[in-house]
Amino acid sequence: QSVLTQPPSVSAAPGQKVTISCSGSSSNIGNNYVSWYQQLPGTAPKLLIYDNNKRPSGIPDRFSGSKSGTSATLGITGLQTGDEADYYCGTWDSSLSAHVVFGGGTKLTVL
């Protein structure tokens, strides 16, 4: 059971938009920055969004992030078949034993 809650799967057609939610609590998302990672099949995860809504160099602006309270959202517009991957949210958890926590991951299918 992951500390952060994501939907197991989402799907949409090429060219469409999709959002992936990530729900936490005041000890993690509520008081810390959120990051998002994309893991293409058989590869290492890649940083997609950091500090809630910033994109690293090379990440297209089709990808966006937002945070409100204890939830965060990843948005992907203009879906491409190459976007099919697992997506994970992550953040610092400031509880007694501070550590990074991830969501369980969301499998994106581009139909």
Partner 1 sequence: EVQLVQSGAEVKKPGESLKISCKGSGYSFTSYWIGWVRQMPGKGLEWMGIIYPGDSDTRYSPSFQGQVTISADKSISTAYLQWSSLKASDTAMYYCARQWNLRYLDYWGQGTLVTVSS
DSSP 36-101: EEEE-TTS--EEEEBTTTB--TT--TTEEEEEETTEEEEEE-S--GGG-EEEEEEEEE-SSS-EEE
The least distance separating partner 1 from the CB of residue 107, rounded to whole angstroms, comes to 11
Pick out residues in 51-80 that bind partner 1 (CB under 8 A).
Answer: 51, 56
The residue from 20, 22, 72, 101 that contacts partner 1 (CB under 8 A) is: 101
The reply to whether 24 sits near partner 1 by the rule CB under 8 A is no
The least distance separating partner 1 from the CB of residue 78, rounded to whole angstroms, comes to 24
Rounded CA Rg of the chain? 13
Please, which residue, 39 or 64, has the CB nearer to partner 1?
Answer: 39
